[in-house]
């Protein structure tokens, strides 16, 4: 079976072994494998035939959070950013992080200003996001000048 890995190394899936469905229920147990580009090609306990594997095509698999290493200083799991408040240098709420995207040029935070306003994008760079406070649930955001929300306040 071929598993697409979104880890630093596809072989990390061998160490995680037990993969879960989105609801947290067991999905697959990785028995063995070898890297092939960004994927892992290998055997899983629950799959014996190509037809069984084909039936699971597109299934999103997850690793239990407790199996992941703690992020180092100035490192974050992108999923931890979702839902965080985005505030400017004055402490004014700009919105909340709705999603994290990577369209090929690096990570970009999608900010939802709430109140029915249009979402906007913020590059996840030190210049645009100079501070991330996981404990407080907020990021300091330097809003791009081309993004307006209809107010006259500078961010």
Chain segment 117-129, per-residue pLDDT in tens: 999 999 999 999 9
Longest CA–CA separation in the chain, Å? 62
For the segment 46-57, what is each residue's pLDDT rounded down to a tens digit?
A: 999 999 999 999
64, two tokens: 């239990």
3-state secondary structure of 138: strand
Q: What is the pTM of this model?
A: 0.71
126, two tokens: 């030190």
Q: E strands along 48-119, which residues?
A: 85-87, 93-102, 107-112
For the segment 64-91, what is each residue's pLDDT rounded down to a tens digit?
A: 888 888 888 888 888 899 999 999 999 9
CA atoms within 13 A on the CB side of 16: 25
What CATH architecture does domain 78-140 belong to?
A: Roll (2.30)
CA distance 148 to 155: 10
- Would you kindly state where each structural domain of the chain is located, as residue ranges? 2-67, 78-140
């Amino acid at each position: 079976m071929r598993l697409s890995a979104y880890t630093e190394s596809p072989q990390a899936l061998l160490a995680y072994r037990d993969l879960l469905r989105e609801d947290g229920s067991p999905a697959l147990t990785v028995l063995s494998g070898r890297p092939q580009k960004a994927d892992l090609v290998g055997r899983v306990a629950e799959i014996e035939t190509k037809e069984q594997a084909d039936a699971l095509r597109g299934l999103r698999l997850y690793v239990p959070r407790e199996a992941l290493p703690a992020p180092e200083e100035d490192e974050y799991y992108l999923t931890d950013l979702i839902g965080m408040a985005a505030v400017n240098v004055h402490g004014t709420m700009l919105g909340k992080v709705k999603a994290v995207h990577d369209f090929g040029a690096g990570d970009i935070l999608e900010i939802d200003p709430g109140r029915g306003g249009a979402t906007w994008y913020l590059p996840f760079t030190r210049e645009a996001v100079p501070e991330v406070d996981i404990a407080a649930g907020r990021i300091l955001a330097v809003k791009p000048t081309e993004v307006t929300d209809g107010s006259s306040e500078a961010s």
